[in-house]
Structure 1
Amino acid sequence: MNPIDVLIQYWPRLLDGTLMTIKLTLLGALIAAFFSPAFALIRVQAPTMVQAPLRLYISFMRGTPILAQLFLIYYGSGQFRPFLTEWGLWNFFRDPFNCALLTFALNSTAYQTEILRGGIMGVNRGEIEAAKAIGMSRLTTLRRVVYPHAYRIAWPALGNEVILLMKASALASVVTVFDIMGRTRQVFSKTFDFSVYLWAAVIYLCITAIFVLIWRQAERRLSRHIEAHNKPRATTVPVKEAQG
């Protein structure tokens, strides 16, 4: 079958898989972005004993393959079905999409936490001291000084993490989540036409290119906002009239 014919005939399935991949990636990244700022702050400022459970979680997530994590959550949860049923959680864990989303969110949270921790540690101490000197509270200093600059520093690395998460989402197909790779395998099982994998690669490339453009545009806006915020404002000095 001609590669173009494959695309024309099966594009609805590939489109469905593309939407599933985008949904899985965005939800996983957003959930991670919600928790990572607090976790990063704990990693920077909390005592060692308080950090210990968080450091163990981050080490596990960063030190083991995401495929193993996905199997642990999807297949491992079945070992605890009586307890999960009693707690009302079995309906969540029996859904492959929920297990894949939980896996990717947990994995991305660990990486985003460490990326943002580096951003927080890179904030100029002088700016923090200046914020304290003018009477800013701790919460206001975090909101208006620490986090904006930390995100500016960490922004490129966070973008790379989202891209890696999107690529890793292809593993969701092994637990019957029909993302791009899941739909591609379906089409290949019917046509035995290897060109469908080429189209899948093109789709991944297009998603990545569009995301990079959007992320860089957001980075420019963020940089202009911080530069405008830090730009010294002109002050008017009253001039005394000459005494005659």
Structure 2
Amino acid sequence: MIDFPFLTEIFLKLLTALPVTLGLFFASFALGGLLALVILALRMSKNRLLSSFARGYILVFRGSPLLIQLFLIYYGLGQFELVRQSVVWPVLREPFACAVVALALCTASYTAEILRGGLLAIPAGQIEAGLACGMSRWLLLRRVIAPVMLRYALPAYSTEAILLVKSTALASLVTVWDVTGVAQQIIQRTYRTMEVFICATLIYLILNFIIVQVFAWVERRLSPRPRPLTDAPAPAATLAAGEKHEP
């Protein structure tokens, strides 16, 4: 028998941890997006040193497990005296901040490659047309390159956002009590793994569904809309045929 009262109680308890999960997601999503733009600029640079640095960054963070990156940042950085004496130590000694940094560094590597794919997909004719119209490089970037690149990158970017939501569950391993962390605490007290994880899964499903709808709305807004058909004059043959059938 399904214990609906217990499921309802667990679901409500897990909802109290939802702000932590959302905080992890939005903070790492925003920070990772800004870092991805920097990595993209370095990756597309004609300077081989800058381009090689971006390539190495992407290789490291895409090629190693996120869990190891999280442990290295949370447990590893504190072993260096230079880090403990720096101004960033009050931030890095907090589990939440370490989780955000690890998630942001990882998602930035994927996002940079997604945006690079969208940038390379822009037809060269659109850029040449903008330059021919007298647009400055900044205006061309804002009015042509950025919207088109984002529209091409949105499908893959939405997938990365969903993966980032699911990756926030790893933060519970460094004592960040998000939805997964609270679920593990409840399991330790009740030993009812199935019911608790079903409620946690439902919360993640709802959250990802909302994210998919938001990205779909943005994609519709950025997609070109067909122009409405204007009233065109009727052909002469049609008018002549109409005149013959008039009484």
TM-score normalised per structure 2: 0.86
Residue 170 (structure 1) aligns with? 169
- Structure 2 segments unaligned to the other structure (5+ residues): 231-247
Separation in 1 of the partners of 2:9 and 2:134? Answer: 65
Question: Quick check: 1:218 aligned with 2:222?
Answer: no
* Aligned residues of 2:17 and 2:182 also touching (Cα < 8 A): yes
Establish whether residue 105 from structure 1 lines up as the match of residue 104 from structure 2: yes
Q: How does 1:24-63 map to 2 (within 5 A)?
A: 24-63=24-63
Equivalenced residues, count: 227
* SS at 2:44 equivalent: helix
Question: CA, structure 1 residues 108+15, in 2 after alignment: closer, same or farther (shift >3 Å)?
Answer: same
Q: Deviation digits for residues 137-193 of structure 1, max 9, x if unmatched?
A: 112111111111000000111110010011111111100111111010011111111
Structure 1 residue runs without a partner (length 5+): 235-244
Residues 1:206 and 2:206 are matched in the alignment: yes
Checking the alignment, whether the CA contact within 8 Å between 2:24 and 2:168 is kept in structure 1 is yes
Tell me what 1:183 maps to.
182
Contact 1:6–1:196 (8 Å) recurs in 2: no
Deviations 1:55-76 (A, max 9, x none): 1111100000000000010000
- The 1:161–1:168 alpha-carbon spacing in structure 2 relative to 1, beyond 3 Å, is same
Task: Map residues 1-244 of structure 1 onto 2, 5 A cutoff.
Answer: 3-80=3-80, 82-194=81-193, 195-224=195-224, 227=225
The 3-state SS of whatever aligns with 1:75 is helix
Worse-matched range after superposition: 114-123 or 133-142: 133-142
Q: TM-score, normalised by structure 1?
A: 0.87
1:149 & 1:9 partners in 2: Cα distance? 46
- Paired residues of 1:44 and 1:121 also in contact (CA < 8 A): no
Deviations 1:74-109 (A, max 9, x none): 0001211x2223212221111100000000011111
Is this contact kept in 2: 1:74–1:96, CA < 8 A?
Answer: yes
Identity, in percent, stands at 38
The 3 A distance-change label for structure 1 pair 3 and 110 is farther
SS in 2 for 1:126: helix
The structure 1 segments of at least 4 consecutive aligned residues displaced by more than 6 Å after TM superposition are none
Change (3 A) 1:144 1:45: farther
Residue in structure 2 matched with residue 237 of structure 1 by the alignment: none
